[in-house]
Amino acid sequence: MGRKVLTLGHGIYASNNYLKKKRNTDQLIVWEHERKTPEWVKNHYPDGRIAIRANEIMTMMEAVKHHQGLARLPCYVADKEPTLRRLDLNLTPSQWGIWVLSHVDLRSTARVRVCREFLVDIIQQQKELIEGLSSHYY
């Protein structure tokens, strides 16, 4: 059994230093498993060059932090890094969400219910960060 608590916000992020540099072609950091060019690349960086393919969010963020290019990252990860800026670009909203799940056999157990309610409350308190409503834009 599950409940979607919030939608996960994403944005295109770059480091302050990357944004200050003059460049002929933007360097892009994308998911390793993406076989097709991501929609955000087609829409905003059709002449960009895929420089890095990563299979983990923190690897992507470290590459962005170290001025290696632009990446689509979850806001709750990238907004906590003070050296990154979210670019003011329109993106197709994410279908990803933050869910709280419990086993169907345990859903009415008091301790599971209390824990589930606690988790939902804590997640909802972070709504602005998770949904990207408090991003620092470039």
pLDDT tens readout for residues 124-135: 999 999 999 988
Structural tokens at position 70: 């632009």
Pick among 3.40.50.300, 2.40.50.100, 3.40.190.10, 3.40.640.10: CATH of 2-130 = 3.40.190.10
Predicted structure pTM score: 0.88
Indicate whether 107 pLDDT > 90: no
pLDDT at 106: 86
Overall average pLDDT of the 103-116 stretch: 90
What single-letter DSSP state applies at residue 38? P
**69: CB partners within 8 A, 6+ apart:** 14, 18, 26, 27, 28, 29, 51, 52, 63
Q: What percent of the chain stands above pLDDT 70?
A: 100
Q: Please, what is the average pLDDT of the chain?
A: 94
Indicate whether 39 pLDDT > 90: yes
